[in-house]
Amino acid sequence: MKLLLVEDSCRLLDALAHILKKHGYTVDTASDGETGCELATTNNYDILVLDRMLPKKDGLSIIKEVRKHNTTTPILLVSARDSTNDQSDGLAAGADDYLTKPFATDELLSRLRTLTRNHPQAQ
């Protein structure tokens, strides 16, 4: 399963990429929103994991751009912003799920499995 991970914290990006690869995902990474958006709109991914607050282009903008291309790729938005309004904004922008930081690795993996189960084209 091919996954795009966009996260501006290099430590978290590297750690998550390592964990996801260990669990069988093929992972492309980006540390800014502009690069992440370019990858998301020019490559085929089974799932996107996007940080909400990114340099150059935020996660909500990436989601909107991806959805303009009529893709149904599942998107998990990850953020330290945990208010109900923040979560609602992320889901309204087109994210399929919203995970607040900090999170447990098992929760991330469970949500990814759920998203791919609910989107058969992602398998």
Q: Residue 53: which CATH number?
A: 3.40.50.2300
- 3-class SS of residue 68: helix
- What's the confidence (pLDDT) of residue 121? 60
- 3-class SS of residue 66: helix
Summary mean pLDDT of the chain? 93
Work out the pLDDT band at 70, boundaries 50, 70, 90.
Answer: confident
Residue 18 to residues 13, 47, 55, 105: CA-CA distances in angstroms? Answer: 9, 16, 22, 11
Beta strands in 1-123 (DSSP E): 2-6, 26-30, 47-51, 75-79, 97-100
Each residue's pLDDT tens digit, 72-87: 999 999 999 889 999 9
> Which domain range does residue 28 map to?
2-122
Count of structural domains, the chain: 1
